[in-house]
Every structure is written in structure tokens, then in C-alpha cells.
Structure 1
Amino acid sequence: MPRTDDLILFAQVIELGSFSKAAEANGLTNSVVSKRIARLEEELGSTLIHRSTRRLTLSDAGRVLYQRARLVAQSAQEAFDAVTGYSQALEGHIKMSVPTISGELLLAAAVAEFCDLHPAISIDMSLENRFVDLIGEGYDLVIRTGHLDDSNLIARHILDSRWTICAAPAYIGRRGKPMVPGDLLKHNCLIYSYQESGARDWLFSRQEELYPLRVGGNFSTDNAAALRQAAIAGYGLAYVPRCLVYPDLQAGRLVELLPQQVGKVLGIYAVYPYSRQPPRKIKLLIEHIRTRYMDIKHYF
């Protein structure tokens, strides 16, 4: 039977993306890590990892085992935390960065509440949309949307944020209601200029495939709150995260358009520098933030 520590090491190799990073994280040599993975493959009678000079690729058997090995690693970490967590004092300073929409919507109150629950902890929270350099700028934690592509960081998924197209009833009364994405080409589209994908390329879904549509409009801004105000005032259509305008949709100040065809969905993640055992205060803060997101997940 495979050893549990080999399963955990296998999961770490995949998560970190290389044998050398897993070796460094565990205080081992590359050769020891390689031998232990080879031993695991021999015991299971299957190749788990296809090795190349550039990257590691999982075999079919490797993908199946990785899903189970992750659970083993998580259970082991939780057991370890149960013993060691109490020795970590809930005190000190946390520097974090959060996106402006979530910051204004719920994180300002959630983080202030966390400080109130743990008076020995102080938190410096900045609201900004750029993906900050966590290590270079000394951040302990950031909340971000979108894809993470840095193996030196750990990302914990919180929930998915769906985008929506909306307009004021007055605008729809004047210009008509678009029935298919192509109708947007005849409308004034308000542009949110801070986006990963092209600000004028709105994403749609057709037969389970995503495709962009290039729209036009006479107003753009990198501030989501300003875009929301322009839409409520009836100056055009807005393509924004649904959480930003959820109360407006419920109150009738805005109307959701083409809800079954809008294709943009971004994950929201808690991101922190890789370490074998993140501080207990960071883990508790992430769980506190996740709980507050779950409280209003219908917004998303």
C-alpha cells in the first residue's frame, strides 16, 4: 500500500509545478523527491507524471490520484493545525489588498469586524484593482478575481462572480430592448475600461462556447461606481459584475438583459505567498471573509 506521506508529496509536486519546489518546501533533495514519486508509481503500477524539461503533465491515472491525494494532504494539514494552531497567537499586523467592488460591497465591513473580534490584530487594507506583487510589496493576503498563474502563490477559491448586462427602464423605453447579442451593435454601450479582457469585447455564450462581441459607446470609465451611475441615469447599457448592481436590479432601477447569453464569469480568490503552514491569523481571516461572501452569494 502506498505511504501516506508519498501521496502528500505527490500532491505538493503537482500544486507547486516542479520536483525542485516540492523538494525545497519539504527540506529534501530533488533526487529524494524523484525516488519517492517513482516508488509511488511502482507500487501503483502506473505512470503518474510525464516529465519534460519545461513542465510536468499528469497521466490519466495521475489525474485520478491527484484528486484523492489532495484530500489526503488537506486532512493531514487540518489534523496538524488542530494540534499546532492553538500555539499561534492571534496578534500582529496584516497587510492586504482587495478589489474596489468587493471592498466597498462587503470587505470593508467584514475586515473591520474581524479586527473587532481579534483586538490584538491590526489590518491595513487597500482597495485597488491591479494585481499587486505580493512578495515584492510585502502583502500578506490579497483578494482577487480572475486566473492566477504564479506557482509561488497559493489561491483559495471563494466563489464565482457572474457578470451582467443591464440598463435603466428609461433607456430601454427610448431605445428598445436588445433580444440577441447582435442587437447591442445598435446601442450605446457604456465601457468599463478596467478589465482583463478587452473593455469593448463583451463575452457571450453560444452552445456552451464563449465568443466576444466588439461593442461601441461614447462613455468609458475605469471606475465601476461611475459606470453604475451612468447606467442608472439612462445613458446606455453597462456590462458589469452582477454583485455591483444586484440591489438596483431588485429595486427596478436597472433591468437585466440577455441573462442566458452573457458568458463572463470570474472566480474570486484569496491569494497569499506559498508556505507549508500559513499563519493562523491569515487562515482565520480568509475563512471569515469567505463566510461573509457566502452570506450574500445570491448577489453574485
Structure 2
Amino acid sequence: MPNASELALFSLIVEAKSFNKAAQLAEISPAALSKKISKLEKNLGIQLLYRTTRRLSLTEAGEILYSHSKDINKQVNDAVSAVSSFSEGLSGTIKMTVPTISGELILAQAVAEFCQLHPKLSVEMRLENEFVDLIKEGQDLAIRTGVLSDSSLIAKPLLQSNWIVCCAPSYIEKHGTPQTPQELSRHNCMAYTYQDKGAHDWYFSQSDEAYYVKISGNFATNNSQALRKAALAGYGIVYVPRCSVYDDMQRGDLVQLLPEFHGRQLGIYAVYPYTKHQSQKVRLLIEHIKDCYQQQAEYF
């Protein structure tokens, strides 16, 4: 009879869609993984996978087995997580990677507060906008915004990030206030280029209507702080996450434009590798970050 480990490895191969990728996630060699699956097929007396150099697919029996075994990894991880605090406690180090905007704002304070609550624990936080390979880089946790496509990662939603249009009062004094999104085409709109799409096509919605407005301007940058400073100096209009300019708007240094129109919304997620059980310390850090975000939801 197959054991839980063999079934978990079989499910991992199906979800990773590759022996090599599954072997990497399971931290064993592809040859060892292939041997284990061959043993599983031999014990069951039936072929589970069609394997070629380019493609991996399930047999009919493999589809049935996968439908019953796909939750084994989750059940094992949940069980380990439930007792992990007894063996490890909140000590050691958590390595995490976060976007620059998040790291410079509420997130840094939330993580530092968590470390103070647990003196035996330390956190190494990297600020970078590139989404690194968590397993290869040895990272336990990432905070990410937007659509996540890597199926080997688990993503837990934390909050929605709302984008707004804003500028300095001095810009309004010189150029007036746009009354509709379409009027932005007549203004100097400065683009934030660190995004897959939408740098020069700004999204708006009102009631049941949604559309994009093409903008143009004489300055664009992939750095949010550079864009913010250009806006503070009165050089143009920007379209950015509200959290990045919230304090500026509270002081009156920036003014929100077109508040009756909704901008884009992107989910903020806590992300960690699928094959690593979620340790007690990582789980509690995620909960702490989520609580801090929700307590200051007006930022977002």
C-alpha cells in the first residue's frame, strides 16, 4: 500500500507540472523522485503518469488518485504547524522580502514591533521590487502586491491597495483642476513605470462604467519616491497607491483629484513556499502584519 509521503510527492508533481520542479520543491533529486513514483505505480499495479521529454500528463487512474490525494500536503502542513510552537517557540530568524513602498511605510514598523514582542526572534527584511525565487534565495516569507502566478507558492490575502490621482496645490494654481478623467489628457501626467501595465493607461471606474485614460507627460520613473518628490514639487499629476502619499495628503502637501472616481485596486498578499510547513513564528508574523494593516486601513 502507498504511504502518505508517496501520495504527497505524486500530488506535488501534478501541481508543479514537472518532475524537475517538483524535485526542487521537495528537496530531493529528480532521479530519486522518479524512483519513488515508479514504486508507487508498481505497488498500485497501474500507470499514473504519461511522461515524455516535453510533457507530463495524468492517466485516468492518475486523475482519480490525484483528486483524493491533493490535500495531503495541506493536511500534513496544518498538523505540523499546530504543534510547531511546542518544539521551536518564537525564536530564530525569519527571512522576508518586501516591496520598496511597503518596506518604507507601515510594514517596517509592524515587523519591528513584532520583534519587540518576541525578543528571541529576529527578522531579516529585504526591500526589493523584483519577485525573487523564495526557495532559491532561502526566504521564508514575501509580501507582494498584484496577481500571483506561481502555483508552488501559497498566498494569503492581507488587504486591498487603492490607487489615487493626486498633485500639489501649486500645480492646481497654475494649471487648474481636472473635472473628469478624460481631462487628464490635457495635463502633465507623470508615469510610474515599475508595473507590468497601466503606466500610461490609467484605470477609472464609476458606478457600472470602467475605462482607461491614456496619459502623457514629460517625466516618468520606476521609483515611487522619485515620482512622489516630483509631484510634491508641483511638476505634474501622479497616479499612485494611496499609502505612498497618505501622509502628504494629511499635511496638505498633495491633494487628491477626481475623488468621485475609483482607481485601480490590487491585492496585498503574504506569500510563502508551498513545501515549507508554515511555522508558528511565520504564521504569527503574518497575522500581526494583517492586524497592523487593518488597524490603519485608511492608508490604503
**TM-score > 0.5 by shorter chain:** yes
8 Å contact kept, 1:165–1:258? yes
Match of 1:222 in 2: 222
Q: Where do 1:1-300 residues align within 5 Å?
A: 81-205=81-205, 208=208, 210-275=210-275, 277-300=277-300
8 Å contact kept, 1:187–1:237? yes
Shift of 1:107: 1.6
Distance 1:82 1:134, change over 3 A: closer
- Which sections of structure 2, spanning at least 5 residues, go unmatched? 1-7, 27-35, 44-56, 59-70
Shift of 1:240: 0.4
Q: Distance in 2 between matches of 1:87 and 1:96?
A: 22
Distance 1:275 1:76, change over 3 A: closer
Q: Distance in 2 between matches of 1:99 and 1:201?
A: 22
8 Å contact kept, 2:162–2:242? yes
**Code of the aligned partner of 2:112:** A
Q: Deviations over 1:72-119 (max 9, x none)?
A: x99998787555533332222221111111111112222222222222
8 Å contact kept, 1:164–1:242? yes
> How many residues were matched structurally?
254
Q: Distance in 2 between matches of 1:136 and 1:161?
A: 28
8 Å contact kept, 2:162–2:241? yes
**Code of the aligned partner of 1:152:** S
Shift of 1:277: 2.9
8 Å contact kept, 2:77–2:278? no
**Most deviating of 78-87 and 126-135:** 78-87
**Code of the aligned partner of 1:139:** Q
8 Å contact kept, 2:85–2:280? yes
CA RMSD of aligned residues (A): 3.4
- Normalising by structure 1, report the TM-score: 0.73
Q: Distance in 2 between matches of 1:240 and 1:218?
A: 17
Shift of 1:209: 5.0
Q: Distance in 2 between matches of 1:17 and 1:105?
A: 35
Distance 1:77 1:140, change over 3 A: closer
8 Å contact kept, 2:158–2:267? yes
Q: Distance in 1 between matches of 2:277 and 2:99?
A: 26
Match of 2:3 in 1: none
SS at match of 1:155: strand
- Normalising by structure 2, report the TM-score: 0.73
Distance 1:274 1:249, change over 3 A: same
- Which sections of structure 1, spanning at least 5 residues, go unmatched? 1-8, 33-52, 55-69
Shift of 1:17: 8.4
Percent identity between the two aligned chains: 52
Q: Distance in 2 between matches of 1:196 and 1:255?
A: 26
Q: Distance in 2 between matches of 1:31 and 1:244?
A: 57
Q: Deviations over 1:273-296 (max 9, x none)?
A: 013731111111111111111121
SS at match of 1:135: helix
Match of 2:33 in 1: none
Shift of 1:133: 1.2
Q: Deviations over 1:116-172 (max 9, x none)?
A: 222222221111111111112221111010011111000000000000000111111
Q: Distance in 1 between matches of 2:198 and 2:124?
A: 32
